Structure 1
Amino acid sequence: MFKKMLKEGAERTILEECIFAPLSGKLINIDEVPDPVFSEKMMGDGMAVEPTEGNVLAPVDGEVIQIFHAKHAIAIRSEGGAEILLHIGLETVSLDGQGFEVVVKEGEKVKSGDLLLTFDLPFIRENAASTISPIVITNGEMMERLTKERSGAVKAGISPMFRILAKS
């Protein structure tokens, strides 16, 4: 179960969390991502977005737990304990940070909708295998169910992508 500490020190159980789109664009099922690491859910279940702009927003309230050295991916732990990988484009690690600007630091607390990083979308289109950006729950063993909310177009920070139901 997701657990959240309240200010008074008491613990509250969070059974369900909503994950909002971190990018604006077209929502794609994870099994349609043209990379087997993601489409075969080796990293976990989730969705992907084909972005229409270069801003990446926090999909939940939580903490930045990892910024990858090539600046192409960020991991966030939600207040409920879900660990969410935001991976911008495919085979973008080879760009070694070019075209990306991270505006947060590891350990930083963020609110849903906060700007995490920006990227040069035309540069990524030109230099990466794809702009399709997977959003994956990497600690899925703590989930009972992941419900995909929608398909089609999503707006960063506004559109729900999926809900996570914790194991009880």
Structure 2
Amino acid sequence: MSLSSKQETQSELTGKNKALLVAVTDGSMIPIEEVPDLVFSEKMIGEGFAMIPTSDVVYAPISGKLFQVAGASHAFEIRTDDGLEVLVHVGLDTVTLNGEGFETNLKKGMMIKQGEPLVKFDREYLLSRGCRLFIPVVVINGENENYHYVFKPNNEIQAEAGKTIALTIEGY
């Protein structure tokens, strides 16, 4: 079964939805708890994973509609057809750059497929401005009365963008 056909299917065991988030860039996958920003590491906005990139392109972890694209081009929120909401946040402290160092043509309301490019970033520029190169990927609606997700992170360390399954989400 292909990755895309497995992505958002009914789990035969639970009868509930299952989604697979893929790595958003080439690089190292780390637990969200290791991101040096309390909003992410303390899971204030949700559960997920993070990446330390070795490339300069960030890809969509899942297919859906862009329901938010930050004006600074550093953050993207994707909503799947069945209501899963995922935030991809490129770098820490990058909002202060007001879009400098980022290239994207995406706009709110556009559809995106898993593995398609979200944004290209200038690694050296971000580092020269004091930004930290962590890319948190967070399910932002996984903790409320309507959703009861079960998160199963992949414990591999090295990942390939769009191919390595980073996080399995079940039970919503």
Q: What interval of TM-score do these two structures reach, taking the shorter chain for normalisation? A: 0.7 to 0.9
2:166 maps to which residue?
161
Residue 146, structure 1, aligned to residue 148, structure 2:
no
- Please state whether the residue corresponding to 2:55 is helix, strand or coil: coil
Cα deviation, residue 62, structure 1: 0.8
Mark the runs of 5 or more structure 1 residues left unpaired by the alignment.
5-12
Equivalents in 1 of 2:90, 2:27: separation in Å? 13
TM-score by length of 2: 0.85
Cα deviation, residue 14, structure 1: 5.5
Where do 1:86-165 residues align within 5 Å?
86-141=88-143, 142-165=147-170
Equivalents in 2 of 1:144, 1:74: separation in Å? 21
- Please state whether the residue corresponding to 1:125 is helix, strand or coil: helix
Percent identical among aligned pairs is 36
User: RMSD over aligned Cα, in angstroms?
Assistant: 1.7
1:48 maps to which residue?
50
Mark the runs of 5 or more structure 2 residues left unpaired by the alignment.
1-7, 10-14
CA contact (8 A) 1:103 1:115 kept: no
CA contact (8 A) 1:150 1:160 kept: no
1:57 maps to which residue?
59
1:68 maps to which residue?
70
- Please state whether the residue corresponding to 2:149 is helix, strand or coil: strand
Counting strand residues as a fraction of each chain, which structure ranks higher?
A: 1
What is the number of residues matched between the two proteins?
157
TM-score by length of 1: 0.87
* AA matched with 2:43: K
Equivalents in 1 of 2:153, 2:78: separation in Å? 19
Cα deviation, residue 164, structure 1: 0.6
Cα deviation, residue 56, structure 1: 1.1
Equivalents in 2 of 1:158, 1:87: separation in Å? 19
- Please state whether the residue corresponding to 2:128 is helix, strand or coil: helix
**Structure 1, residues 105-125: CA drift from partner, whole Å, max 9, x if none?**
211111111111111111112
Cα deviation, residue 129, structure 1: 3.3
* AA matched with 2:53: P
- Please state whether the residue corresponding to 2:131 is helix, strand or coil: coil
* AA matched with 1:55: V
